[in-house]
Chains A and B, each alone.
Chain A
Amino acid sequence: MSVLLIAEHNNKEVRPFTYNAITASSQINEDLHVLVLGHQADEVAKSLSEVPNVKKVIHVDNEIYENYIAENYTSAIIKHAENYSHIVSSANTFGKNLMPRIAALLDTSQVSDIIKVISDDTFLRPIYAGNAFATVKSNDKKKCVTIRPTSFDPADKSGGSAEITKSDPAEASSSTKFLKKEEVKSDRPELGTARIVISGGRGMQNGENFKLISDIADKLNAAIGASRAAVDAGYITNDHQVGQTGKVVVPDLYIAVGISGAIQHLAGMKESKVIVAINKDGEAPIFSVADYGLEADLFEALPQFLSELNKLNTIQK
């Protein structure tokens, strides 16, 4: 049987994690179909039909799918579910909100946030915020799976020509109403998907000193993170918090500044590809996970860091 992937998009463009989910889905089964629920989202359906890994696109166009109302999405997905062995989505706020609602109605125990496909019923997933990895086998007939996007490469976007079929909408919920969406207006990349993250901890001493961090973030096109200690102390708002109770990030480069490395912080960043720690306490636990440790006073090191970066001819962005 085939895999049905639920596309995430804004009716104009495919949201990037959908491509990572396509890679993971086609590892489960090559016969991958993508369901586009949207309003006037023809461009989205067309883009997905051009992805070589996609064998078929099912497009349902109706104004009830303009926003991600889980209740409306679910009734449409359930309608198609019987033809598929697996229903898949990204494990971001889109998929996390949606998939369990589908799984419960299919009487399936969902497998959340997988980081590896071992076979079509066995997956690897982090538990305890990545402090342990569990290999799990789903014994349900129909499987509902969400995928950690940063653990899979995005699929190629062009060269394919899958068939697009139109399908009818399902019933809409009258108990949930979309009111508004406020997208964070920032020139910086999203913390969850940034290639580089620079984070400050209690060592920053106050909120004003985060300017030292943001100057470097601007230079590197990095997102700004923070430890729970810095958030609790009020230096920065909690949407920047990295850790078990904040965001889990997996950037190419993570720079921890004035962060001692509490367990709960390490849980949110230790899968990063390259980790830099700048701390004046040479015994700080953060150094045990750092590829490059600099034992230094951050108030001297950060301005120097910026001036060294300014000396470089090119910086990868």
Chain B
Amino acid sequence: MKILVAVKRVIDYNVQIRVKEDGSGVVTDNVKMSTNPPDDNAIEEAVKIKEAGKAKEIVAITIGEEKAQETVRKALAVGADRGIHVKVDNVIEPLAVSKILKKIVEKENPDLVFMGKQAIDDDCNQTGQMLAALLNWPQATFASKIEVKDNALEVTREIDEGLETIEVNVPAIVTCDLRLNEPRYASLPNIMKAKKKPIEQINASDLGVDINPRIEQIKVEEPPKRKAGIKVASVEELVQKLKNEAKVI
């Protein structure tokens, strides 16, 4: 089997987001960037499947500006075999991302496409499902366990009520939950080796898909600030305040 894994470069989850004063977005200059956390789980799972002898090749793909390549390089360092970087200069919407991925899938013919369930920047949670729809493939979202069978996957999904297990025929799209696995760190020798692995560069404009925005971002603002609270001196005072002032217990 061949697995395509999509990774996105986002602001690191430990960075305090700052909104630009003109309301046009958030500050990204000189901010630490990393791979979107559940995308690390997607790579890890693909590598584990390959290590178990059930996959032959892992291709990591990212879509974004020049520096987005870093996320592919990181995927190569933990076990992907080669990379693809689709260059776009502007931020594009999940619908456009899934159209680009569809073109790449048609070219690469993977059996499985893995990615994180959601990106922690725009929090859209759309791309995997959209790609599945465009390809008319089955989807298994929010995966916390994957079992590879003959031409099918048994996937346990994290849902609000608990866990759901479904079986999807291959080819399929899987979006990965943080609980799927524990992503490994790349070792120094593997980071060195990854530098020699190939990354193919493709311009999004050469793929012939419409990636123009459909959604206008009118403004981005800071969420309303909480008004300053008080310190209480004792547990007794705390319980009294909760009961009589806040009226929540």
Which A residues are within 8 Å of any B CB, using their own CB?
67, 69-71, 74, 92-94, 96-105, 107-113, 122, 125-140, 173-184, 190, 192, 196, 220, 238-239, 244-246, 252-253, 262-264, 270-271, 273-276, 282, 287, 289-296, 301, 304-305, 308-309, 312, 315-316
Complex interface residues of chain B between 52 and 73 (CB less than 8 A to chain A): none
Q: Which residue from A131, A181, A244 sits with its C-beta under 8 Å from B163?
A: A181
Option from B15, B93, B162, B213 in Cβ contact (under 8 Å) with A181: B162
Interface residues of B (CB under 8 A from A): 11, 13-17, 19, 26, 37-38, 93-96, 98, 120-134, 137-139, 141-142, 154, 157-169, 172, 178-179, 213-223, 226, 229-232, 234-236, 238-239, 241-243, 246-249
6 sampled A-B residue pairs with Cβ under 8 A: A104-B130, A135-B220, A136-B218, A178-B166, A293-B230, A308-B238
Contact B216 A192 (CB under 8 A): no
Q: A93-B142, A274-B246, A292-B229 are in contact. List 5 more A-B contacts (CB 8 A).
A: A94-B160, A176-B139, A245-B13, A294-B232, A304-B235
Contact of B214 among A108, A129, A246, A301 (CB under 8 A): A108
Check B161 against A128 for contact (C-beta < 8 Å). no
> Measured between C-beta atoms, what is the minimum distance from B227 to chain A in Å?
8
CB distance from A71 to the nearest CB of B (A): 6
A101 touches B142 (CB 8 A): no
A residues within 8 A CB of B168? 175-177
Is the CB–CB distance between A308 and B125 below 8 Å?
no
Contact between B242 and A100, CB atoms less than 8 A apart: no
Closest chain A CB from B20 CB (angstroms): 10
Shortest CB distance A226–B (Å): 14
Question: Which one of B93, B141, B231 contacts A97 once the chains associate, using CB atoms below 8 Å?
Answer: B141
Cα A72 to Cα B76 with chains together (Å): 36
Contact A177 B167 (CB under 8 A): yes
Contact B126 A135 (CB under 8 A): no
From A139, A178, A184, A294, give the contact of B231 (CB < 8 A).
A294
How long is the Cα–Cα vector from A290 to B223 in the complex, in angstroms? Answer: 16
Q: Are A100 and B239 in contact (CB under 8 A)?
A: no
Q: Choose among B133, B137, B163, B178 the residue that contacts A245 (Cβ–Cβ < 8 A).
A: B178
Cβ B14 vs Cβ A262 within 8 A: yes
**Distance in angstroms between the alpha carbons of A54 and B166 in the assembled complex:** 33
| CB-defined contacts of A177 to chain B, threshold 8 Å | 166-168
Residues in B with CB closer than 8 Å to A108 are 95, 214
Beyond A108-B214, A263-B14, A309-B249, whether A253 also contacts B121 by CB under 8 A is: no
Hey, which chain B residues are within 8 Å of A94, CB to CB? 159-160
CB distance from A222 to the nearest CB of B (A): 10
What is the chain A residue whose CB lies nearest that of B164?
A181
Q: Contacts A97-B141, A190-B160: A134 and B229 contacting too (C-beta < 8 A)? A: no
Q: Which of A100, A132, A289 contacts B26 (CB 8 A)?
A: A132
**Highest count of chain B CB atoms <10 Å: which of A128, A175, A192, A246:** A128
B235 touches A308 (CB 8 A): yes
The docked-state distance in angstroms from the alpha carbon of A101 to that of B133 is 5
Cβ of A138 and Cβ of B14 under 8 Å apart?
no
Chain A nearest Cβ from B48, distance in angstroms: 18
Bound CA span A276–B237, Å: 12
B130: which of A101, A192, A289 is its contact (CB, 8 Å)?
A: A101
Cα distance A304–B38 in the bound complex, in angstroms: 40
Are A134 and B249 in touch, CB under 8 angstroms? no
Partner among A100, A135, A140 whose Cβ is within 8 Å of the Cβ of B219:
A135
Task: Decide: A276 and B162 in contact? CB cutoff 8 A.
Answer: no
Q: Choose one: B93, B125, B167; the contact of A179 (CB below 8 Å).
A: B167
Query: Shortest beta-carbon distance, B231 to chain A, in Å?
Result: 5
Docked-complex contact A128 and B120, CB < 8 angstroms? yes
CA distance A161 to B105 in the complex (A): 49
